[in-house]
Structure 1
Amino acid sequence: MNTTTNLERKKASLPVAVFLSALLTLPVLSGCGGGSRTAAPLPPVDDTAGRNVGYPQSPNQPQQTKRGLTTGQKVAITLVGAAALYYLYNQRKNARGNGAQGKYYLSKNGRVYYRDDQGRPHWVTPPSEGIRVPESQAQQYRDFKGYNGRTTGRDLTDIAPQEAPTY
Structure 2
Amino acid sequence: MKTLSGERKIVSRLLAVVLSALLTVPLLSSCGGGSKTASPPPPVDDTVGRNVSNNVPANRPEAKKGLGTGQKVAILAGAAALYYLYNKHQNAKEDGAQGKYYLSKNGRVYYRDAEHRAHWVTPPSEGIRVPESEARRYQEFQGYNGRSTGRDLSGISSSAAPAL
For the superposition of Structure 1 and Structure 2, which TM-score range results when normalised by the shorter chain?
Answer: 0.7 to 0.9
Q: TM-score, normalised by structure 1?
A: 0.75
Tell me, yes or no, if the aligned pair for 1:44 and 1:122 is still in contact at 8 Å.
Answer: yes
Q: Write the letter of the residue equivalent to 1:44.
A: V
Q: How far apart, CA to CA, are the structure 1 residues paired with 2:113 and 2:105? A: 19
Which consecutive unaligned segments of at least 5 residues does structure 1 have?
A: 162-167
**Which residue of 2 is the match for residue 164 of structure 1?**
none
Q: TM-score, normalised by structure 2?
A: 0.76
Relative to structure 1, the CA distance from residue 40 to residue 79 in structure 2 (aligned partners, 3 Å threshold; closer, same or farther) is closer
Q: How far apart, CA to CA, are the structure 2 residues paired with 1:66 and 1:40? A: 39
Relative to structure 1, the CA distance from residue 34 to residue 125 in structure 2 (aligned partners, 3 Å threshold; closer, same or farther) is closer
Tell me, yes or no, if the aligned pair for 2:78 and 2:143 is still in contact at 8 Å.
Answer: yes
**Which residue of 1 is the match for residue 52 of structure 2?**
53
Q: Write the letter of the residue equivalent to 2:91.
A: N
CA RMSD of aligned residues (A): 3.2
Aligned 1:39-78 pairs, distance under 5 A: 41-49=41-49, 51-58=50-57, 61=58, 64-66=61-63, 74-78=71-75
Relative to structure 1, the CA distance from residue 44 to residue 13 in structure 2 (aligned partners, 3 Å threshold; closer, same or farther) is same
> Which of 143, 154, 158 is equivalent to 2:155?
158
> Which of 127, 136, 140 is equivalent to 1:130?
127
Q: What is the aligned length?
A: 157
Q: How far apart, CA to CA, are the structure 2 residues paired with 1:95 and 1:5? A: 75
Tell me, yes or no, if the aligned pair for 2:40 and 2:117 is still in contact at 8 Å.
Answer: no
SS at match of 1:158: coil
Q: How far apart, CA to CA, are the structure 2 residues paired with 1:12 and 1:67? A: 83
Relative to structure 1, the CA distance from residue 79 to residue 25 in structure 2 (aligned partners, 3 Å threshold; closer, same or farther) is closer
**Identical pairs, percent:** 51
Aligned 1:1-167 pairs, distance under 5 A: 3-11=3-11, 13-24=13-24, 26-28=26-28, 30-31=30-31, 33-36=32-35, 38=38, 41-49=41-49, 51-58=50-57, 61=58, 64-66=61-63, 74-160=71-157
Misfit runs of 4+, over 6 Å: 67-71
Q: How far apart, CA to CA, are the structure 1 residues paired with 2:140 and 2:76? A: 11
Relative to structure 1, the CA distance from residue 109 to residue 18 in structure 2 (aligned partners, 3 Å threshold; closer, same or farther) is same
1:35 Cα offset (Å): 4.9
Provide, for residues 59-100 of structure 1, a one-character-per-residue CA deviation record: whole Å limited to 9, x for no partner.
Answer: xx35734479998x6122221111011001100011111111
1:30 Cα offset (Å): 4.4
Relative to structure 1, the CA distance from residue 99 to residue 19 in structure 2 (aligned partners, 3 Å threshold; closer, same or farther) is same
Relative to structure 1, the CA distance from residue 139 to residue 109 in structure 2 (aligned partners, 3 Å threshold; closer, same or farther) is same
Which consecutive unaligned segments of at least 5 residues does structure 2 have?
A: 159-164
